[in-house]
Amino acid sequence: MAETPILEVDDLARSFDVSRPWLQRVLAGEGKRILRAVDGISFAIPRGTTLSLVGESGCGKSTVARLVVGLYPPSRGRVVFEGLELERARAIAEQRRRMQMIFQDPYASLNPRWRVKDIVAEPIRAFGMTPSAAAQQAKVAELLTQVGLSPLDGEKFPHEFSGGQRQRISIARALSSNPDFLVCDEPTSALDVSVQAQILNLMKDLQARLGLTYLFISHNLAVVRQVSDRIGVMYLGRLVELAPAETLFTTPRHPYTRALMEAIPDLEMTGRQRIPVGGEVPSPISPPSGCPFHPRCPLADDRCKAERPVLLPARGTEASLTACHAVEEGRDGGVPAAQRVGTTAIAL
Amino acid sequence: MSPLLEVRDLRVEFPTRRGVLTALDGVSFSIAPGEVLGVVGESGAGKSMTGAAIIGLLEPPGRIAGGQILLNGKRIDNLRYDQMRRIRGREIGAIFQDPLTTLNPLYTVGDQLVETIQTHLGLDVAEARKRAVGWLEMVGIPAAAQRIDSYPHEFSGGMRQRVVIALALCAEPKLIVADEPTTALDVSIQAQVIALLKGLARDKGTSMMLVTHDMGVIAETADRVAVMYAGRIAEIGPVREVVKHPKHPYSAGLMASIPPLDRRVDHLAQIDGAMPRLSAIPRGCAFNPRCPEVFARCLVERPALLATGATEAACWLYDPVSEKHAPEAMRHG
């Protein structure tokens, strides 16, 4: 057995109470409304690798990111970081500094009234990591150089930078406490495509150099393919497929994963008729019974409507874990032929 | 066939306290009847600004400072507000990114459709309502006859965007300006909306100007594409040519930096640097500080669109008089 993973998540769930105020509820005679953002998911991330979570908006992927770093307490299940329960790990500064987060919007995540050098040095100060001001300054200069900025940029304010440069500042700040594990919540979705390429390349370089472990959250499958070792596909708060990156793209098994890949606009213009998946994502307040995907699934039968599927090794591609009765029973037509080749996607 | 829309040397300026910013500079293109023209570029390239100028909805203090916009051979860039109002909706329909801000939350979608149809087509209420139901059915809203009396907030994002499309089409305009129509939607819904737009444009023979930053959407929908950079058109041509064989170094870099879905690459091609601010557009070619092929002429003289094979590119590499020539093979992304 390999060494213990840096992060383990077991049956993690988080629900939010979105009920109306008590009096209105009583007058209208309605019950509480509970939104199950994340509903029982489990995964582990081995050291030095990248696990990506993909899914459409509202599938709960960002909630997982926040649960993993402890910004939300879980409603059920547990997060284990370096063999310690998250709550205990976070009580120890030495453990806490090893985990950092990069947010989606570099315009909102940097304090506009602070100079860049103070933003980058904040974790260093908070964890009391360097004794002298000079050492701190040297560290900030080193970090800024590492992310492709100039040490002189430390004197500037965030508004003097473009979106891509700001995201570099966020990365420098995240790296300043020498973390091992970074949670990246859509780090490139607010950026233009040429800048996105810069940031993805930077993140890959840093991972190779510093041995970082990433939990990468994204809705863009093409981006995810470039950075991941393993990929989890989420739908309505659950993992529907968890597979090695290459396996997921060459042989997607869950009907939702296949539909998602089918829906991506095709840069190669093979003129193929795409069959968009019908319907929309149901509300997580009243999710469908059984498999959450069954109202939109072409393979759904009575069992799918009644019984919730669990993640099992898929027939034919045992490396993929798939939560699907049809795959388990072999009703899905087995391992799909090699996916269409020569396709490129997606947003600039 | 004469073009439906013709934009000639369009220039849009924003007077500010620190001087006049030029947001669009010498933009020229045309759209034929029934044609879909895609406009791509990164944020701030001026693609939405071009759409806004055409439908006469430039945000003040922005103003058209030069050039002409012709619809069916008639100038529309110098019309008075009330004259332009008659053209918007009737002749040019508009679809914006966010369906929530396009629809009035205080009126049912039926009210909004009926008002538009009555205003532009002069029908009575009963007839207008019948048409409105027809349009909602056409854009794929289930149980349209009941849903017509719902308010915008009662629809999901994808359904709301369908209502917006119905609203843009219901006066049967010849041209639709669609500004990021699918950007706010999830991929599975996005595919449904693109298929719908494409089908309607084909069936009705409507021309469309499709503004988006998503190259995949353009590749699937457009006939021709214009790549914009810093308020100028860098390259324009048939979509297949621009995607497969981009000629301008910027379009080539842009295509290459799109992460591929079909394979993993160790290092994505990237264009170093960022697009210049409007207040600091360099002399000569706007792309020259980031261009891998830059040479002396690019620094001083601004290139016009030059024909190169099937596309036109604003790049001195394609001027036979230039000292430097790019071998054809080097120009691939």
Residue B186 touches partner A, C-beta closer than 8 Å: yes
Q: Smallest Cα–Cα separation from B183: which of B156, B161, B198? A: B161
Distance from C-alpha of B125 to C-alpha of A2, rounded to nearest angstrom = 73
Of the two residues B10 and A21, the one the predictor is more confident about is B10
Residues of chain A above pLDDT 70, percent? 92
Nearest chain B residue (CA) to A228: B264
pLDDT for res A312: 93
Confidence of residue A56 (pLDDT cuts 50, 70, 90): confident
CA A8 to chain CA mean position, Å? 14
Here the tokens at position A211 are: 């041995």
- Which residue's entry shows tokens 């003129």? A271
Kindly report, residue by residue over B143-192, the tens digit of the pLDDT: 899 999 999 998 888 888 889 999 998 988 999 999 988 887 777 778 88
Give ipTM to 2 decimals.
Answer: 0.80
pTM of the model: 0.85
Token pair recorded at residue A63: 């909630």
In a 10 Å sphere around its CB, with 0-12 CB exposed, 13-18 middle and 19+ buried, how is residue A148 labelled? middle
Q: Is the pLDDT of residue A1 over 50?
A: no
Distance from CA of B322 to the nearest CA of A (A): 28
Specify which of A248-252, A268-272, A338-342 reaches the highest per-range mean pLDDT: A248-252
Residue B329: pLDDT band with limits 50, 70, 90: very low
Nearest-CA distance A262 → chain B (Å)? 9
Kind of pairing between the strands at A50-54 and A230-235: parallel
Cβ A265–B43 below 8 Å, yes or no? no
Distance CA A202, CA A212 (A): 12
Which ranges constitute the DSSP H helices of chain A? 22-28, 61-69, 86-91, 93-96, 116-126, 133-146, 163-175, 193-210, 221-227, 245-250, 255-263, 302-306, 325-329
Point out the least confidently predicted range of A105-114, A268-277, A301-310, B317-326.
A268-277
In which region does residue B205 sit, left (phi positive, over 0), alpha (psi from -120 to 50) or beta (all else)? Answer: left
| Beta carbons of B36 and B44 less than 8 angstroms apart | no
Chain B hits for A281, Cβ within 8 Å: 186, 188
The arithmetic mean of pLDDT across residues B272-300, rounded, is 91
Domain formed by B5-222, architecture? 3-Layer(aba) Sandwich (3.40)
Q: Give the Cα separation of A50 and A47 in Å (integer).
A: 9
Residue A81 to chain B, least CA–CA distance (Å): 29
Confidence at residue B213, expressed as pLDDT on a 0 to 100 scale: 87
| pLDDT tens-digit map of A78-119 | 999 998 999 888 888 888 999 999 998 888 899 999 999 999
pLDDT at A38: 94
Sheet holding B5-16, edge to edge: B19-31, B5-16, B63-71, B74-75
pLDDT at B331: 44
What is the mean predicted confidence (pLDDT) over A43-55?
95
Distance (Å) from the C-alpha of residue B258 to the closest C-alpha of chain A? 6
Q: What is the mean pLDDT of residues B46-67?
A: 92
Burial of B304 (0-12, 13-18, 19+ CB in 10 A): middle
Judged by a CB distance cut-off of 8 A, whether residue B267 touches chain A is: yes
Inter-chain CB proximity A192 and B187 less than 8 Å: no
Using a CB–CB cutoff of 8 Å, tell me whether B198 touches chain A: no
Task: Supply the DSSP symbol for B89.
Answer: T
Q: Reply yes or no on whether the pLDDT at A342 is more than 60.
A: no
pLDDT, mean of residues A263-274 = 66
Q: What single DSSP character describes residue B220? A: H
Question: How much is the pLDDT for A274?
Answer: 62
Domains of chain A: 7-98+179-329 (3.40.50.300)
Residue A340: the pLDDT is 41
d(CA A252, CA B259): 19
Residues A11-17 have a mean pLDDT of: 93
Sign of CA dihedral B231, B233, B238, B242: negative
Pairs of CB atoms within 8 A across A/B: 152
Q: How far apart are CA A166 and CA A195, in angstroms?
A: 11
Please report residues of B whose CB lies closer than 8 A to that of A266: 216, 219-220
User: Which residue in the block uniquely carries the two structure tokens 């849009």?
Assistant: B12
Q: Tell me the residue type at B74.
A: K
B72, B73, B78, B83: CA torsion to nearest 10: -40
Residue contact A197–B264, C-beta within 8 A: no
Q: Are A267 and B243 in contact (CB under 8 A)?
A: yes
- How far is it, in rounded angstroms, from Cα A76 to Cα B165? 43
Contact A68, A6 (CB under 8 A): no
pLDDT for position A275: 62
The secondary structure of A185-240 as a DSSP string is ESTTTTS-HHHHHHHHHHHHHHHHHH--EEEEEES-HHHHHHH-SEEEEEETTEEE
Tokens 């020539």 correspond to B325
pLDDT at B297: 93
Residues 277-316 (A) with a CB less than 8 A from some CB of B: 277-278, 280-281
- Which residues neighbour A42 within 8 Å (Cβ) at sequence distance 6 or greater? A9, A10, A11, A12, A77, A239, A311
What residue segments make up the domains of chain B, in order of their start?
5-222, 228-331
Q: Which pLDDT does position A339 carry in this prediction?
A: 44
Is B156's CB within 8 Å of A192's CB?
Answer: no
The enclosing H or E element of A295 equals none
Q: What mean pLDDT do residues A43-68 have?
A: 93
The fraction of chain A above a pLDDT of 90, given in percent, is 60
Q: B-contacting residues of A 216-245, CB under 8 Å?
A: 219-223, 225-226, 245
Q: Which long-range contacts (CB under 8 A, 24 or more apart) does B279-284 make?
A: B279/B18, B279/B19, B279/B21, B281/B22, B281/B25, B281/B230, B281/B231
Give the Cα separation of B251 and A318 in Å (integer): 42
Q: Work out the percent of chain B whose per-residue pLDDT is above 70.
A: 96
How does residue B203 score in pLDDT terms, banded at 50, 70 and 90?
confident
Convert B256-278 to b/e letters by CB count within 10 Å (16 or more is b).
Answer: bbbbbbbeeeeebbbbeebbbeb
Residue A123 has a pLDDT of 93
**pLDDT tens digits, A208-226:** 999 999 999 998 999 999 9
The answer to whether residues B216 and A264 touch, using CB atoms and an 8 Å cutoff, is: yes
Is A344 close to B274, i.e. CB distance below 8 A? no
Average pLDDT, chain B: 89
Mean pLDDT (whole number) for B68-93: 92
Please give the pLDDT value at position A336: 61
The answer to whether the Cβ–Cβ distance between A196 and B259 falls below 8 Å is: yes
pLDDT tens digit sequence for B207-240:
999 999 888 889 888 999 999 999 999 999 999 9
Best residue of A149, A201, A202, A348 to probe chain B, by most B CBs closer than 10 Å:
A348
3-state secondary structure of B178: strand
Residue in chain A nearest B276 by alpha carbon: A162
Categorize the per-residue pLDDT at B115 as very low, low, confident or very high, splitting at 50, 70 and 90. Answer: very high
Question: Using CA atoms, how far apart are residues B296 and B284, in angstroms rounded to an integer?
Answer: 10
Whether residue B236 is preceded by a cis peptide bond, meaning omega within 30 degrees of 0, is no
- Per-residue DSSP letters for B224-253? EEEEEETTEEEEEEEHHHHHHS--SHHHHH
Determine the pLDDT at residue B324.
63
- For position A273, what pLDDT does the model report? 58
CB contact (8 A) between residue A269 and residue B239: yes
C-alpha A268/C-alpha B6 separation (Å) is: 29
- Is A226's CB within 8 Å of B268's CB? yes
Predicted confidence (pLDDT) per residue in A28-40, tens digit: 888 888 889 999 9
- Contact residues for A269 (Cβ-Cβ < 8 A; gap 6+): B219, B220, B239, B240, B243
